Homo-oligomer: A and B are copies of this chain.
C-alpha cells in the first residue's frame, strides 16, 4: 500500500503507540514514523525496537512537519501536551489521540487546537495488561474497534477524517463514529467499571493475603487470577481514566452495587431460583461476545495449551 501519511508523530511511547508503529510498519502506511517520550529509558527502549525513524526527547521537535500527530499519553496529560505542541504543528495537519475517555480529552485539548489543524478524538478499544514500548505488537488492533468522536465534521474536512479512518482500518481495526458522551457511558460499562471492580477484588485479596500467606496466589486458578490480569494494568493510565470519566463510571458502579446487593440477598435468603435464572442469562451474553469475534471460544482463553 502507498503511504497514507508522509510523517506520523506519536507523542508518548507506551503499548498503544508502539503497537501503532508496528502495525504501520507492517502495512507500510507511513513515510516516516517518529516518536517522543520524556523518559530517557523509554526513548532507549523505543529506539531499540527499530520501528521509529527518530525518537525525540522534545515533543515540539517530534511534531514538526508531521501530517498526523497522535497523542498517546495518559488522558490527564493530554491537555498540557496539546498546549506544548500547538505552535509547532504543521499547518493543515491532523491531530488525534488514543485516550480511553473522550469528553475530558475534548475539553482539555480543543482549546489548544489551532484553526489550521484538524482534531479528531479517537479511542482504539484494545490493549493488554502490559505497558511500555516493549509491550507493543502489530496485531493488537486486528478486528478490534476504533471509536472516533469528531462531533459535526464540516464538508471541507470530510477527506481528512476519511484519511484517518483509512489509517485505522489499514492498521487492522474497524472504525465507528460516536457521540463522545455516549462513548464515555458505553466504555464505563465495558471497560472502566470492570477495571475498578477487578482492582477492588484484588485489593481485598491482597489485604487477606497477610492473614493467609500466599494462599490467594496458590489457589488463584479458580477465577481470581483473571481479575489479577486486569488489575495489573498501568496505574497512571487508569487513575486518569477514572478521574476523567467520573460521572459515567460512578453511575455504572451504582447500578453494579444495586445488583450485587440483590444477589447477596438471594444468597442470604437461599433463593436458588433467582440465582440460577441470573446465571443462565449472563451465560447467553458470553455467547454474543464470542460470536462477534471479540473473544476466543477456546475454554479458559486457550490458556491451558501453553502449559
Contacts and interface: CB of A to CB of B under 8 A. Distances in A.
Interface of A: 76, 100, 125-130, 135, 137, 139-140, 142-145, 147, 182, 185-187, 189-191, 193-209, 212, 214-233, 235-236, 238-240, 242-243, 246, 249-250, 252-253, 255-257, 259-260, 263-264, 267-268, 270, 272, 275-276, 278-289, 292, 294-296, 298-304, 306-307
- Which of A193, A220, A264, A283: most chain B Cβ within 10 A? A220
Contact of A239 (B217, B223, B229, B272): B272
B301 A229 contact: yes
19 contacts: A143-B307, A186-B219, A189-B204, A190-B205, A190-B220, A194-B223, A197-B197, A200-B260, A201-B256, A203-B281, A220-B295, A225-B295, A229-B301, A231-B282, A231-B285, A232-B283, A235-B275, A295-B303, A301-B301
A302 B302 contact: yes
B281 A206 contact: yes
A275 B242 contact: yes
Contacts of A139: 304, 307
Given A204-B252, A212-B186, A214-B288, A246 B231 contact: no
Given A203-B281, A295-B229, A304-B140, A223 B243 contact: no
A191 B295 contact: no
Contacts of A281: 203, 206
A185 B212 CA distance: 10
Contacts of A220: 190, 289, 292, 294-295
B128 A300 contact: yes
Nearest to A296: B306
Given A194-B226, A228-B285, A307-B143, A299 B129 contact: yes
A3 to B, nearest CB: 26
Contacts of A194: 201, 222-224, 226-227
